[in-house]
Structure 1
Amino acid sequence: MPDHFDALILGAGPAGGGVASRLAAAGLKIAMTDAGPYGGTCPLSGCNPKKILLGPAEIAQMAAHLQGKGVDRPPSVIWKDLMDFKRTFTEPVPEKAKNAYAEKGIETLSGPGRFIGPDTVEVAGREVTADNIFICTGVKPRPLAFPGAEHLADNVDFLDLDELPEHVVLIGGGYIAMEFASIAHHCGARVTVLQRSDAILRGFDQELAGLLVEAMQTAGMDVLLNAPVHSVESADGRYTIRYGEDGGESITADLVVNCAGRVPNIESLNLEAAGVEAGPKGIAVKPTMQSVSNPKVWAVGDVAATPFELTPVAVLEADVAAANVLDPQANKYADYFGIPTVCFTLPPCAACGLTAEQADEQGIPHQVLTHELADMFSWKRLGQKYGRAKIVLDEDGERILGAHLLGHNAEEVINLFALAIRNEMPLEAVKSTYWAYPTCGYYMQYLIAE
């Protein structure tokens, strides 16, 4: 007979962990499993290790900006020592996470889950049934089909390199490509980014994205647009990448990384057996996070076809889904209004709320305020040459509809804007706040003023 639980969680990352912990705290009988180590992408091969590797890169960039202003040369980064430091964060995670869930009374299984019925999953040869099954398996690198694609590394490989290669080629123009480019370049590698289209970071304000390309190129990175890759050839431990509209251009590198987006990690789930609908963007869900086609199945986090692939959003969706399981009458919805996002490039790019283009598309009357951060003290003192803010206000100048920042500390300042946007704070309330000086946040009052 199959083992039965109140809830089975497929995926032990932030999304699955959020659901499991809340339901277990309410006294439900919970089991969870993961095809890989417990912890998920963010702490193991995403957000956290990326930020650790970014630390010395930030110092190197700051020193480069201050050369001739009191600094004689940027520091050299010892990659091996940096990687050893990173591993002190990542290596303990799986055991700690698994133990933490077990202490909460959650049965921790290991291995991929595969549906064999609407409410039945096979895990490592064991049949498990549950009243509620949560798919929290996240996303994985998008497979590329050109000749030689098997030679490509991915985010997991890059974030665990024992040595930083001399020349790194990054395929793609999204978060991962641009962030890895900043890390590799400022840690001492030559970097080339090959983006198939004419722009990077499509979800961000495109004026700021263009300025970021300029900043990266000025720093010494090669960011090539309209450069689709046609093939990768391996010889003598190096790789020749052929790219361009007709594949007539080529470059040779020591490492080629697939950063061309992510796709839902659902291939091995056998969703057909559960009658669960999914598309290119993930599992189709209601605003409650319940799947649209099987009321016993829920999808939470990056694997769901929802607007953002962000850790805080996974936590939000986990809270919503758990609340609806504990009280089916609650009908709680995921509210994505005012969610901030950051691309941790150097300089970082951050966004929250509507772009001017989105406001136009939605027919919302608005005004846009643009300010050069590089001219303001908190950025100028660091020798920053690239920094800009674009703030979208409603027509009457009473509410902030969107904020878009490029420059030092953008990842922190955007949180102030997120607070104001999500809570629909009147602009006068923001203006009446007195900020600590001299800080980057202090300048928020100027960014919302004409």
Structure 2
Amino acid sequence: MAEYDYDLFVIGAGSGGTRAARVSASYGAKVAVAEEYRVGGTCVIRGCVPKKLLVYGSHFSEELEDGKNFGWTWENAKFDWTKLRDHVLKDVDRLNNAYTDTLKNHGVEIILERAELAGPHEIKLAGGKTVTAKYILIAVGAWPAVADFPGSGLMSTSNEMFHLEALPESIIIAGGGYIANEFAGIFNGLGSDVTVVNRSDIILRGYDESVRDRLIQISLAKGISYKFNCTFDRIEKRDDGALDVYMDGKKDPVRTDIVLAATGRRPKVDNLGLEKAGVATNDKNAIIVDDYSRTNVENIYAVGDVTNRVQLTPIAIREGQAFADTVFGDNPRTVDYDNIPSAVFSQPPIASVGLTESEARKQYGNIKIYSSDFRAMRNVFADRAERSLYKMIVEHPTEKILGLHMIGPDAPEILQAAAVAVKAGLTKQAFDDTVALHPSMSEELVLLK
């Protein structure tokens, strides 16, 4: 008889958990995964994938308008929210089934129940059954954080945005991070009146100041409103279902259909039984792990957003892979967190890798900035004033590239390849020596002055 029911029990079937389970099973481990909702996790079910599809959908309002200068006309063009919503949810179903099939094809047992720790080697399932495992991996992700003030329970979160019965005529978005700015662009593009309310005067903290400022300029031109250094007092619901939002001590409320809380995400450790197994957390309730994703309990590991290291899907996947290689593949591995490329699918999108200008000045002192501020050819022809900005930060005098920051159409698609150069430690000379691909927006990267 085996000492444990499983070699590995994974709590959470998101990006990190499914990768760890699949690879561990391929190494011969007996693996089970418990998921309380749907296989695929935040990114696939209620995050970046369905949100990117909404971004695509929201682009067509400008595409239709820009098409006039390209010789196109559309009669009686109209938007149907329910058609887009239902098609997005259908694709989520497809991905949920694909992730499920992948796990099953690798011999992973899927348990569609909530699971919590009952001890260092014990897991209690919602149905009442308790199972044991030699190793336990916690990969439950994070959950939207909602501020506590009168009426805050009336706020929606990003989880609900994909299931709205109707497109809101107006929406107030609380927050200044990537979720807030992405949904601002989505609903503005779909025709809603959008107001972004931020408690500070900085959006997208951690991104380069130049691209942040450019996004605000463009967003304002698109009709998105901003309220900076603004706080919520209370929210009240009207008889007709609309919301009255009181802010900054003002007597008169602002009426809106939806208030979206987009003020960050917190590790989803509530009622997970961490204390029963002795797993330690930090002051932000994130599970504390070492470089190999191991907690203070020798046989319990954690990957992904629940550790609050870097809340990005590709990082969770790499952490899950490294865990499986280390524990079951006899190949100890860690994840390199330097020069991680990231994107904000705002409108236009932002893409970034490496140090911002302020970070580079603090770390290196002597730096040099190369940039290109231009209108994409398509925007010129469409008579759209929107300008792109590409920015390269290099160490002086070596010219080693320290950071690349971009805002403009298709910026994330362009930056992915350029991020390889930053990761490899190349200098600007390598870009200068590369022939431009003309006519394209990407050629601006090798023409920076």
TM-score relative to the length of structure 2:
0.93
Match of 2:266 in 1: 263
**Partner secondary structure for residue 5 of structure 2:** strand
**Partner secondary structure for residue 278 of structure 1:** coil
Is the Cα contact below 8 Å between 1:138 and 1:302 reproduced in 2? yes
Match of 1:14 in 2: 15
Deviation of 1:370 (Å): 2.5
Across the aligned residues of Structure 1 and Structure 2, the Cα RMSD in angstroms comes to 2.2
Match of 1:278 among 277, 281, 289: 281
Deviation of 1:392 (Å): 0.8
Deviation of 1:85 (Å): 1.7
Match of 1:315 in 2: 317
Is the Cα contact below 8 Å between 1:76 and 1:187 reproduced in 2? no
Call closer, same or farther: CA 1:413–1:249 in 2, change over 3 Å: farther
Equivalents in 2 of 1:114, 1:269: separation in Å?
Answer: 5
Equivalents in 2 of 1:37, 1:206: separation in Å?
Answer: 38
Deviation of 1:425 (Å): 2.7
**Partner secondary structure for residue 425 of structure 2:** coil
Is the Cα contact below 8 Å between 1:139 and 1:262 reproduced in 2? yes
Match of 2:223 among 198, 220, 227: 220
**Partner secondary structure for residue 7 of structure 1:** strand
Report matched runs for 1:55-70 at 5 Å.
55-64=56-65
**Partner secondary structure for residue 202 of structure 1:** coil
Deviation of 1:69 (Å): 7.1
Is the Cα contact below 8 Å between 2:12 and 2:140 reproduced in 1? yes
Q: Count how many residue pairs are aligned between Structure 1 and Structure 2.
A: 443
Equivalents in 2 of 1:441, 1:266: separation in Å?
Answer: 42
Structure 1: which amino acid aligns with 2:87?
F
**Partner secondary structure for residue 203 of structure 1:** coil
Deviation of 1:248 (Å): 4.7
Give the % identical residues. 28
Deviation of 1:59 (Å): 2.5
Match of 2:88 in 1: 86
Call closer, same or farther: CA 1:362–1:398 in 2, change over 3 Å: closer
Call closer, same or farther: CA 1:380–1:303 in 2, change over 3 Å: farther
Match of 1:398 in 2: 399
Does 1:241 pair with 2:241? Answer: no
For structure 1, which segment, 335-344 or 421-430, has the greater mean C-alpha deviation from structure 2 after superposition?
Answer: 421-430
Structure 2: which amino acid aligns with 1:144?
A
For structure 1, which segment, 362-371 or 177-186, has the greater mean C-alpha deviation from structure 2 after superposition?
Answer: 362-371
Match of 1:123 in 2: 125
Match of 2:46 in 1: 45
Equivalents in 1 of 2:3, 2:167: separation in Å?
Answer: 48
- Stretches of structure 2 that go unaligned for 5 or more consecutive residues are none
Deviations 1:180-228 (A, max 9, x none): 1111111111111111111111021123212211211111111211111
Match of 1:287 among 284, 288, 291: 291
Match of 1:192 in 2: 195
Structure 2: which amino acid aligns with 1:182?
G
Deviations 1:69-102 (A, max 9, x none): 7567895422122112212201233344223312
Equivalents in 2 of 1:99, 1:332: separation in Å?
Answer: 27
**Partner secondary structure for residue 51 of structure 1:** helix
- Stretches of structure 1 that go unaligned for 5 or more consecutive residues are none
Call closer, same or farther: CA 1:188–1:379 in 2, change over 3 Å: closer
TM-score relative to the length of structure 1:
0.92
Equivalents in 2 of 1:187, 1:211: separation in Å?
Answer: 22
Deviations 1:372-426 (A, max 9, x none): 032x546544535232122111212532111111111111111122111112234
Deviations 1:317-344 (A, max 9, x none): 112111111256x442210122111110
Equivalents in 1 of 2:131, 2:227: separation in Å?
Answer: 50
Deviation of 1:66 (Å): 6.4
Is the Cα contact below 8 Å between 2:394 and 2:428 reproduced in 1? no
Structure 1: which amino acid aligns with 2:44?
P
Call closer, same or farther: CA 1:62–1:247 in 2, change over 3 Å: same
Does 1:99 pair with 2:105? Answer: no
For structure 1, which segment, 218-227 or 2-11, has the greater mean C-alpha deviation from structure 2 after superposition?
Answer: 2-11
Deviations 1:220-243 (A, max 9, x none): 111211111121100121001111
Deviation of 1:3 (Å): 5.5
Deviation of 1:103 (Å): 2.0
